Amino acid sequence: MNSQDLSRRRFVSQMLGTGFGAAALPFVDALPFELEASKTGRALIVVFLDGGMSHIDTFDGKPEAKSDITGDLRSRRCAVDGVFVSTELPRIAGLLDRCVLVRSLTSGEGNHDRASRYLLTGRRPSAVLEDPGLGAAVIALERAEAKRRHVAIPAYVSVPDTAVGGGAGFLGSASLPFETGAQILRPGGRVRALEVPPEARRALGWLDQLDALDSRSDGASSDAERSLAELRGRARAMVYDREAREAFAVDREAPPIRERYGRHQLGRSCLLARRLVERGSRVVLVRDRGWDMHVQIAKRMTYGFPGKLPALDQAFSALIEDLERRGLHERTNVLLVSEFGRTPRVNPAGGRDHWPRVHCCVLHGAGLRRGFVLGESDARGEEPADRPVSPAELYATLAKLMRMPDDAKLWTSDGRPRRLVQEGVEPLSEILA
């Protein structure tokens, strides 16, 4: 009996437990996927601070600059020499000696959507071709190479939804991430779509039988139909597989751990990301909105229940520590990033505006050096002073960390090849272990 048989047995026993009974058994024979997720492959969690995180108010403090640059928030030395981190991020500051900090990220794209696309696809936005985000590209490549067939745990998940650029682009809807929706981020929240209404069980059992009969009929089957069958198979697997359902049950996590991540949305998002990666998801994109602070940035960063920076400090540090405690950091990378930075000078409204010339990001996990700082911005945080890093290079690095082949190619709908990593762009070798 091979592992696939075993997983099917487990699956059938679980499904019988859902109340569907034997009615849905014919469907099991037609399952187009394996049920066990690979829990050894590399994984990536991207914590995307949507709107533009101020580099000066977080990881690239300029305590010696004039007050119109330092603003109302303070920074202090951290565990890494020469790096000043916001006083609002004490826990992350203590972890930076296990991370890589890039302080010279520069994109030249000052529009949210364009910058976000550049960052998450590794290519400047084009009017004629929409490139896929890394998560979509990874699952498309693996599917094409038959390295991974569909498993119940979705390979690519967006929490709660997908940032611009994180979608499937030219790869089409089959590569879109599974979006959890925002409800799961509230205390006690769930992914309602995964819950089977008791009154619908008979009808759903019949539906599965119908689809199973349809998929085994000898009628001509087109690409479109095969894609639909695959999609529905993935949806069913998520419903019937207990482990998949439980991956989304954040509230089943032990209370101390939930407390450590925080009860806020970012905390629950990061906790969910860890649960998904632990169970086999390959890429999880956590989108935290609200970082576009043109007005009163100091207040908006720190006040609230909790403020943006305290929440980030709590959630991100908890994620790093949790991954390390479980050993998941040996196969998982975490990236904390924004589409651009914010103006070094505080504007008259007390905010900071878009600033793509230089910003920063934090990386952690497998295959990376620890406590390493790449590049730096100038004294006023306006330009990269050393080793400018483009989003394309960052993307190439992530692809390398995900063990994508150097010459990996994607195919557009009309059959044209497109390299996963832009021609001529190399990974950031300095930060690789």
Residues of the shown chain interacting with another protein in the complex, contacts defined by CB under 8 A: 154, 158, 161-162, 164, 173-174, 176-181, 191-197, 199-200, 202-204, 206-207, 209-211, 213-215, 217, 220-225, 227-229, 231-232, 234-235, 238-239, 414-416
Judged by beta carbon, residue 76 or residue 418, the one nearer another protein is 418
411 touches 417 (CB < 8 A): yes
Q: How does DSSP classify residue 190?
A: -
The Cα-based distances of 215 to 30, 83, 220, 230, 366 in angstroms read 7, 59, 10, 10, 41
* Beta carbon of residue 325, minimum distance to another protein (angstroms, whole number): 31
Kindly report the CA angle at 272 between 267 and 278, in degrees rounded to 5? 130
* Beta carbon of residue 8, minimum distance to another protein (angstroms, whole number): 21
In the chain, count of helices (H) and strands (E)?
14, 16
Judged by beta carbon, residue 219 or residue 327, the one nearer another protein is 219
The amino acid that residue 231 corresponds to is L
* Beta carbon of residue 78, minimum distance to another protein (angstroms, whole number): 35
* Beta carbon of residue 123, minimum distance to another protein (angstroms, whole number): 13
* Beta carbon of residue 191, minimum distance to another protein (angstroms, whole number): 8
Judged by beta carbon, residue 59 or residue 240, the one nearer another protein is 240
Judged by beta carbon, residue 219 or residue 348, the one nearer another protein is 219
* Beta carbon of residue 182, minimum distance to another protein (angstroms, whole number): 10
Judged by beta carbon, residue 214 or residue 259, the one nearer another protein is 214
Please, how many CA atoms are within 13 Å of residue 317, restricted to the half-sphere of its CB?
A: 19
* Beta carbon of residue 352, minimum distance to another protein (angstroms, whole number): 21
Judged by beta carbon, residue 220 or residue 433, the one nearer another protein is 220
348 touches 75 (CB < 8 A): no
Judged by beta carbon, residue 289 or residue 331, the one nearer another protein is 289
Judged by beta carbon, residue 248 or residue 372, the one nearer another protein is 248
> How crowded is residue 420: how many other Cβ atoms within 10 Å of its Cβ?
23
Residue 207 structure tokens? 């539906």
Per-position DSSP letters for 205-261, written without gaps between them: HHHHHHHHHHHHS-S---HHHHHHHHHHHHHHHHHH-HHHHHHT-GGGS-HHHHHHH
17 touches 24 (CB < 8 A): no
What is the rounded distance in angstroms from the CA atom of residue 86 to the CA atom of residue 311?
13
Judged by beta carbon, residue 172 or residue 367, the one nearer another protein is 172
* Beta carbon of residue 12, minimum distance to another protein (angstroms, whole number): 19
102 touches 58 (CB < 8 A): no
- Selection from 77, 99, 103 nearest residue 90 by Cα: 77
Question: Rounded to the nearest 5°, which phi and psi values hold at 225?
Answer: -70, -40
* Beta carbon of residue 241, minimum distance to another protein (angstroms, whole number): 13
319 touches 274 (CB < 8 A): yes
What is the rounded distance in angstroms from the CA atom of residue 113 to the CA atom of residue 120?
11
* Beta carbon of residue 96, minimum distance to another protein (angstroms, whole number): 33
Burial class (CB in 10 A: 0-12, 13-18, 19+), 222: exposed
